[in-house]
Structure 1
Amino acid sequence: MKTNAAKQNNFSKSMILAAVMLTIFAMAFQPGEAKAGMKSPPPEKIKVIIIGDRVVDIAYNLGVLPEAMSVRGSLWSMAKQLKTVSQILGCPNCTIVKKKETIPNALTQRGIKRVIVEKSDVFCLYKPKIKLENIAVIMAGMDVKIEYVDFSQGLESAVRQTAKLLDRESKADKVIEKYKKKLARVKAKLPKEKLGKKVIIFSGTYQPSTGKSTLRVEAPYGYADHFLLDPLGCLNVGDSFKPADGKANKGHYPVRKKKNGMVLDPVIKANPDVIVMTGDALAVQRAFADYLTANPAFAQVKAIRNMAVYALPAYVDSSVLEYPDILKKWAVALAR
């Protein structure tokens, strides 16, 4: 017969396995999803290059995509969908800083005469020094028209500017109204009091060809804090994974590996109320299940014990018009 300790250990393992395999999706549409029974026409591809995630997102919502674009494809999950129509030439750090010949070469090879550029105070929190307007210096002397979408006057103004440049002004009001209504509904349902929950956000990557996984933890004071955790009154305790040098790579800390798997000891120490999985949730789930085998105490972490482990969409201020949908999902999960 099994001892009480053995039974308790098996129960703990069952709890952790159930928790990490639980993927909770809020009752909200995915970004860009049409209502049941209605089909939106595919976006029209036009002969232009757009530099900047936000402008591409607005263009997509207006029913247009550029022939090519420079966006943060590794961070912006929606880019995987859009690149089936529009070629990603590289992220702005690549096309504006590292490989300055990329945009001029693409213009020449494709015979494109227009470039639309996002203009904002800070394009990317992870690379704050990048100014997309610097493409004008790179393209000096080329017979190409450069146009700008200035975000300094807010999102509504940016939508109208983009619509005018793309000859979609008739659609601007509908896009803006839809966004405002969604955001108002979500904000009206946000918790009146701060939730005060401690949260750790894991970003997972799983490689099917090798079966290998990598994990990162989002550092505090980044996109998730500003757009998702702060409105809900939650605290990012990702600093529990801060390395000795204190440096974050693109707003994340790496999760170290050992022979027997990921080093997740900081989770036990931080004892978060909620664990969020972004990217490939399977990578996170597998790491958690493996870690439990050698560390039964993992089952006593609040988030694990209470099954508050959620797969949620990441937000890096790229899907600006889908933001209300994303915020709603985080609100539903974290307020549980």
Structure 2
Amino acid sequence: MRVLAAMSGGVDSAVAAARAKEAGHDVTGVHLALARNPQTYRTGARGCCTLEDSRDARRAADVIGIPFYVWDMADEFHESVVDDFVEEYAAGRTPNPCLRCNEKIKFAAVLDRAVALGFDAVVTGHHARLGADGLLRRSVDLAKDQSYVLAVLTREQLDRAMFPLGDWTKERVRAEAAARGLAVADKPDSHDICFIADGDTRGFLERRLGSAPGDIVDGRSGEKLGTHNGAYGFTIGQRKGLDLRVPAADGRPRYVLSITPVTNTVTVGPREDLEVDTVTASRPIWHEVSGDVRCEVQLRAHGEVVPATVSIVGSSLTAILETPARGVAPGQAIVAYRPDPDGDVVLGSATITAGTRASAHA
């Protein structure tokens, strides 16, 4: 097959490209230039969008012995990922930009262009598995599993995807990279958000949305406890950085319970008030199942799984949790898994719109 290898400049994508070539495919490497101004994105081998990453990807392609190109997708990335990130926070939601990048850039814009150019598939270094049955499964390395951020992919996109590293641990990947003479063998993994150079998410949002002072109130009494400079600087479940001027009567910490952009209000309360047992979500992407499905759901990246019963009616998904969950934030993804001896199978995903509790605390 003619295969396009998406090479981020990291060790995983380099080894994935090498393994695709070793499997006999006709492989071409491509690095995505995603920054309109690369100097504003992360540097120091920590991101996936820097000039350094582009050079590392080119060197890896040279060692592997495959053609290599750079595709400028900065405008698409800014519109689909960066602008979406800002708009979601402004609406009181908590987006996952890596998930959106996989959905809109790596497996939409890139795959569409690859198919138009005559490629049969796109290979990436994601830690996830595609079985012979075509189903997406968790990686064997659960600490590095990325099936959560890939669960937004459609059946058609998965049919043209290749994930060669799903049966490998990160340690084995690095060992293979070293054995192949790839200089990125010891390169650190990327962390945080690539387009926020200093890691200050609140500052990044304030520069784009401006200062918007509002109140922080108690979720039970309605009492004003403090003020903020922008509701977009908070997320459900947040404990630190609240700067409350009125201490709780019981001395316990408070957490963000909800964000209301219309009134620019942040509501806080005790930890138990974060608990929800029903999650609703929109835009479901569901694979080969129908009716009420008992499964396990993951409600945020690297979060714990919770047993649940999931049902879909039209464009809405509802999950009834068997065990209450905390910190369920609108804008995040809910991903459903079916336990399987060969590895948990991704049943589908949706974007969380709300979390509720059947019985409120007294």
TM-score (norm 1): 0.31
Point out which structure has higher relative CO (alpha carbons under 8 A, 6+ apart). Answer: 1
- Give the structure-2-normalised TM-score: 0.29
Higher helix share: 1
